[in-house]
Amino acid sequence: MRTSLLSILFIFFSENIFAQNIGINEANPKNPLHIKGRTQIDGRLSINQEKIGTLGGELAYPIFEAVSANSDSSDINLVLFENTGFSPFLNIGHSRGTKNVPLKLEYTDGIFSLLGHAYDGTDFKTVGGIELKVDSITSVGNIPTSMDFYTSKNGAETYQLRMRIDRNGNLGIGTSAPVQAKLVVNGFTNYDNTPSSYGYLKNTGAGTNTNTGSQNYSIYASNRIAASEFNAFSDARIKKIKGLSNNQQDLETLMKLQITDYQLIDSISKGNTPYKKVIAQQVEKVYPQAVSKLTDCIPDIYKLAKIDNGFVLLPNHNLKIGEKVKLIFDENQEVVMVKEVSKEGFKIVNHKPEIVNQSVFVYGREVSDFRSVDYEALTTLNISATQEIFKKIIQLETQNNTLKSEIKEMRADINDLKLLILK
């Protein structure tokens, strides 16, 4: 009897459940399940959890999906209404440890990733996204972060890092280490629609030229470098004037500078162009105010190697744990930290494990004393020295004119003596 009663109740509730909307704290439910008030779910909420794709790719078991019933968009819309005046936030938190014993995040830990996946005809592939991660050593009240932006190029199998905003607010395009300036652009696009004629400004001077073909641009505005005019700050009202420069001393300094013939070690990307310029280390000894130091990578290794799951197979590298090294891949280049070293090679921090037995070019280590020369400072030094030379020329011309007058007078006196003698 009891079993029959339970069966009748089950049938009764089943018919009502499938025939009507269910309301929780809602007397007039407008959907199959209408919950009024806050809802807590302890555990995973799975919607349409089923396999998508044939290769078992990254979206094999989606937690949430939106599929349109017709040709309309299948967008997922989130609209929040409130009267507090504050903008709504989508907060994503990450901690090591457990809920009861949370632990702080460490260097290179990810905080969140927003990745885009696209179906290529066989399966879903990751084609780009945004990632926020810890960018340096952490401590209480100190979580430095960086944000990376990824896209995929035509014909590429995997997405690549395109832009990074580091912990100091520096923006890097084409580089993972924008340490040289607030904006660092690494790489170029070969553009063959350049103006037929253009003006230029570089460390050897300014002038005009005609276009003879495509050019490599890192930043493009309207003309190469790329602007129609370059203005350097020189207003007297922003300077503490200490006096005029000593032309004689500047000339002596200029005479100590050595002009050197050289070619760049990085002949692959820079070519074998011969240069006739100064060397920063030599200028630093003579005229140190024209030399500055920054962080950059030098080609002191410059060898092709193999990388397998973060380990670079390269004997005799001379790298140390904690140093950073620049690696060049087929599609991008990265500056990474050395985690372990051995006679066979070195292991790097936080590298994609899917890179297995691939070629990588080890450019060289990152140094904090990379030197650059202020050619504008050398130009003004040359102006001052030229002024001293001009003074000397004026003095010599004055002396020469005096000597000419004296010689003329002496010749007149000699002629007078000759006339007296002849009489």
Digit-coded pLDDT (tens) for 370-382: 888 888 889 999 9
pLDDT of residue 130: 95
More confident site: 266 or 86: 266
Do both 29 and 166 map to the same domain? Answer: no
Phi-psi label, residue 26: left if phi above 0, alpha if psi -120 to 50, beta otherwise = beta
Tokens at 186, concatenated? 């690494």
Check whether residue 51 and residue 130 sit in a common domain: yes
272 within a domain of the structure (yes/no): no
Q: Which residue has the tokens 């920063």?
A: 280
Residues 386, 251: Cα–Cα separation, whole Å: 7
The percent of residues in the chain predicted with pLDDT above 90, rounded, is 34
Residues 180 and 50 grouped into a single domain: yes
Please report where in the chains the tokens 């990824």 appear, as a residue.
Answer: 150
Share of the chain above pLDDT 70, in %: 76
CA distance 89 to 92: 9
Work out the burial of residue 387: count CB atoms within 10 Å of its CB; fewer than 13 is exposed, 13-18 middle, 19 or more buried: middle
> 33 and 4, same structural domain?
yes
Identify whether 355 is part of a domain.
yes
Q: How far apart are CA 247 and CA 385, in angstroms?
A: 5
Domain containing residue 303: 297-373
- For residue 238, being part of any structural domain is answered with no
Residues 51, 8 share a domain: no
182 plus 310 within the same structural domain: no
- pLDDT (mean) for 383-387: 94
28 & 150 share domain: no
State whether 1 and 54 are in the same domain. no
Q: Is residue 250 part of a domain?
A: no
Quick: pLDDT tens for 214-254: 667 777 664 455 555 666 667 787 788 889 999 999 999 99
Structure-token match 């050593």, residue found: 137
| 21 domain-assigned | yes
- Give the residue with greater pLDDT, 229 vs 137: 137
28 and 57 fall within a common domain? no
Which domain-ending residue is among 141, 158, 187? 187
Summarised one tens digit per residue, pLDDT across range 28-59 is: 888 888 888 877 776 656 665 555 555 445 44
Outline where 198-279 has alpha helix (H): 247-256, 267-270
pLDDT of residue 285: 95
∠ Cα 383 389 395 (to 5°) = 140
11 and 111 in a single domain? The answer is no
In a domain, 138, yes or no: yes
Say whether both 53 and 180 belong to one domain: yes
pLDDT in tens, 353-366: 667 778 899 999 99
132-146, 159-173, 289-303, 342-356: the lowest-pLDDT one: 342-356
Statement to judge: residues 34 and 56 lie in one domain: no
What are the angstrom distances between the C-alpha of 244 and each of 223, 290, 361? 36, 18, 50
Residue 30: inside a domain, yes or no? Answer: yes
How many CB atoms neighbour CB 405 within 10 A?
10
Does 275 fall in a domain?
no
What does the pLDDT read at residue 12? Answer: 46
The count of structural domains within the chain is 3
Give the model confidence (pLDDT) of 96-117 as tens digits: 888 888 899 998 899 999 998 8
- Burial class, 364, CB count within 10 angstroms (exposed 0-12 / middle 13-18 / buried 19+): buried
Picking from 373, 391, 411, the residue at the C-terminal end of a domain is: 373
Domain boundary among 187, 207, 240: 187
